Chain A
Amino acid sequence: MALLSIKNLSIGYQTKAGMLKAVDNISFELERGRPLGFVGESGCGKTTIGMTLMGLLPGNAHILGGSIGFQNQDLIQLNEDQWRRVRGKEIAMIFQAAMNALNPVMRVDEQVIEAIVTHTPDISPADLDKRINELFDLVEIPRVRMKDFPHEYSGGMKQRVIIAMALACNPKLIIADEPTTALDVIVQDQILKEIKAIQKAMNTGLIFISHDIAVVASVCKDICVMYGGQIVETGTREEVFRNPRHPYTKALLGSYLSLDNELTVVIPDMRETPDLTLESGCCRFAVNCKTCSSACKAEVPQWIDISGSHKALCCDETIIRNSHE
């Protein structure tokens, strides 16, 4: 049985412009040994999915429908108390902005200890000590630096602490939301290797979020490509990488980062931002799609199977089927 199984999940943000459907009718399953990657440009709803899985959506967010099956329960039904027991213990998250993710007035080790003690209040001091040392060894931070304050750490070390914190209670599922975006390439590479190694060693479930499809492909076996709150193509990394079918995936593979290292992906000839206030189910990519026909704007896109695990969301079956060059 899948560790996590999400069905028809929709999430909206109440804004002045109306209900912003940041996540629109997405479904996926996650197995323990198969890290799943989410890739897509800034604003496509990746963090929103992560926050939903942590029960940490902001006040103006509403779950419009769907279910999140995790260990025989539907996470959507949980109350705040039950959520607290899931957070950190069952599901942990590594956040996007590592630079400010640590409390500046607390020593680093205290912050990790806190994560353990909250969920195992009766742990003995000796066990706690052992566990802390284990965790810092695991993320390769020298023990002498454990008692430092966060500002004495480099960005890479902070990110490692965040990882240690996420691992503290041996969670069954880890959500890594752009864990390396703020780091330089070399540190990024080390951290990615660490995440992969830890995932393998502990056999946890891993959802890996990034705007960089190359990074996602290096960590994950399966990939979901997102656009405007929808998953538009999903498959194994080989399928998606070697044989992209959806017009957006193709554009993404041909894209590059803008020079000022903005998170936005610059894609040739993609000027429009998707309209998230659109009715649920419509093709969000139609505004930018070069192969778009008039039918696309009226019809509801369907999942088109390419092979067993590989499928794409489109109104026009022929585009998907014949697009392999």
Chain B
Amino acid sequence: MRNQTYILGKLVEITIIFFVIMTALFFLFRLSPGDPISKVADPMLTPEDMRYIIEQMGLDKPIWEQYVIYLKNFFTGNFGVSFHYGEPVFKIIRERLGWTVLLFTSSTILAAFAGVFLGKIAAWNKGSRLDNVLSISALVCYTLFIPWFALLLLWVFGFKLGLFPLGGILSPELWVGNASWFVRMLDILHHMLLPLMTLFVIHLGSYLLLMRSSMLSVLREDYIITARAKGLSERVIRNKHAAKNAALPVVTSVGLSLAFSINGGALTEQIFTWPGIGRELIFAVSNNDYPLAQACFLLIALVVCWPIWLWIFSMPIWIRGLPIEPQGMVLE
């Protein structure tokens, strides 16, 4: 029963958070310089489209009325039409989201697995040459400046060696024609490799260091001595008893970084012209495309709250079903 009250409290909390975010978004964009109506006057739009947009958002009305319209639109699931594209924002986001998720999720998860594995080995061989090499490399990865590293990769592998395309997701010749889905998939992978590499390397360092320090502290725990006292082999102690506990902070950290997937990969997306949400967000903000930018930010807010959603909807499953410390899942 206490749990139900707690969950209810959380839901109220989330609602309030969203309301505040939405209000802030609305006014922030109205404060930014530039006249929206002139922005709407994109030569690509027909006059009917323009009138439709202006009417829909009440751009010719006083600001508080615009605010009410904005809230009403939002709660009826109407995110509006992009100034620039003249298409429903919802549709644009749906198209971009998949690409971002593909790139960011796969790189984060790969980096997490590699980081856990290497961090475990580094901690287990603490003070050895291997540990030093791994730790220093991780530190270098961690402090890399993303744009610089991305451009370097692009320059070396894309431009000099010509091994990879310079941007985009699909080779032009495959846009048309009837290449099989397999060929398309390979081509996408080919395009994805450099941005994936960038994000992978950037994340790897922090996961490795996190796992290493977490593992070192776990190795000092009493239950590790208990495990030794049972006569278990070192391999079992390392993998079953130590690494599983030590990986918990990494799991949390992966969760949190997934929450930042939308904006976190924005620079990388921009450099590799990867058609994801992050790139769209940069574009929308720099072009005063209110509806699109607002929706992007709302999406970020929604995603950042994901651990709370997860916690609310799957708590019973987490506690009973996963090989991960149940206490670790209790947020707050």
Residues in B233-251 with C-beta less than 8 Å from chain A: 233, 241, 244-245, 248
Contact between B231 and A103, CB atoms less than 8 A apart: no
Compute how far the CA of A56 lies from the CA of B230 in the bound complex, rounded to whole angstroms.
11
CB within 8 Å for A87 and B230 given contacts A103-B241, A105-B325: yes
Contact between B222 and A104, CB atoms less than 8 A apart: no
Interface residue? B221 (CB, 8 A): yes
B225's partner among A95, A149, A151 (CB-CB below 8 A) is A95
**Interface size bucket, A side?**
20 to 34
Compute how far the CA of A114 lies from the CA of B323 in the bound complex, rounded to whole angstroms.
16
- Least Cβ distance of B86 to chain A in Å? 53
Compute how far the CA of A115 lies from the CA of B245 in the bound complex, rounded to whole angstroms.
19
Interface residue? A23 (CB, 8 A): no
Max chain A C-beta neighbours (<10 A), residue from B223, B227, B326 = B223
Contact between B325 and A102, CB atoms less than 8 A apart: no
Residues in chain A near residue B227, CB distance under 8 A: 103
Contact between A88 and B327, CB atoms less than 8 A apart: no
Compute how far the CA of A226 lies from the CA of B326 in the bound complex, rounded to whole angstroms.
42
Max chain A C-beta neighbours (<10 A), residue from B227, B231, B232, B248 = B231
CB within 8 Å for A92 and B325 given contacts A101-B222, A105-B244: no
Residues in chain B near residue A85, CB distance under 8 A: 231
Interface residue? A240 (CB, 8 A): no
Interface residue? B229 (CB, 8 A): yes
Residues in chain A near residue B226, CB distance under 8 A: 95, 101-103, 162, 165
With both beta carbons as reference points, the residue of chain A lying nearest to B233 in the complex is identified as A84
Contact between B222 and A87, CB atoms less than 8 A apart: no
Contact between B230 and A151, CB atoms less than 8 A apart: no
Interface residue? A100 (CB, 8 A): yes
CB within 8 Å for A56 and B229 given contacts A100-B221, A102-B223: yes
Residues in chain B near residue A103, CB distance under 8 A: 223, 226-227, 241, 245
Compute how far the CA of A125 lies from the CA of B325 in the bound complex, rounded to whole angstroms.
26
The main secondary structure of chain A at its interface with chain B is mixed
With both beta carbons as reference points, the residue of chain B lying nearest to A99 in the complex is identified as B222
Residues in chain A near residue B325, CB distance under 8 A: 104-105, 149
Compute how far the CA of A88 lies from the CA of B230 in the bound complex, rounded to whole angstroms.
4
CB within 8 Å for A86 and B231 given contacts A56-B225, A95-B222: yes
Interface residue? B39 (CB, 8 A): no
B222's partner among A88, A97, A151 (CB-CB below 8 A) is A97
Contact between A87 and B245, CB atoms less than 8 A apart: no
Residues in chain A near residue B94, CB distance under 8 A: none
Interface residue? A264 (CB, 8 A): no
Contact between B223 and A101, CB atoms less than 8 A apart: yes
Compute how far the CA of A89 lies from the CA of B248 in the bound complex, rounded to whole angstroms.
31
Which chain B residues have a beta carbon within 8 Å of chain A's beta carbons? 221-223, 225-233, 241, 244-245, 248, 323-327
**4 closest pairs, A vs B, by CB?**
A88-B231, A87-B231, A100-B222, A88-B230
Listed A/B pairs (21) with beta-carbon separation below 8 Å? A54-B229, A84-B233, A87-B229, A88-B229, A93-B229, A95-B222, A95-B226, A99-B222, A100-B222, A101-B222, A101-B225, A102-B223, A103-B241, A104-B223, A104-B325, A114-B230, A115-B231, A118-B230, A118-B232, A149-B325, A151-B326
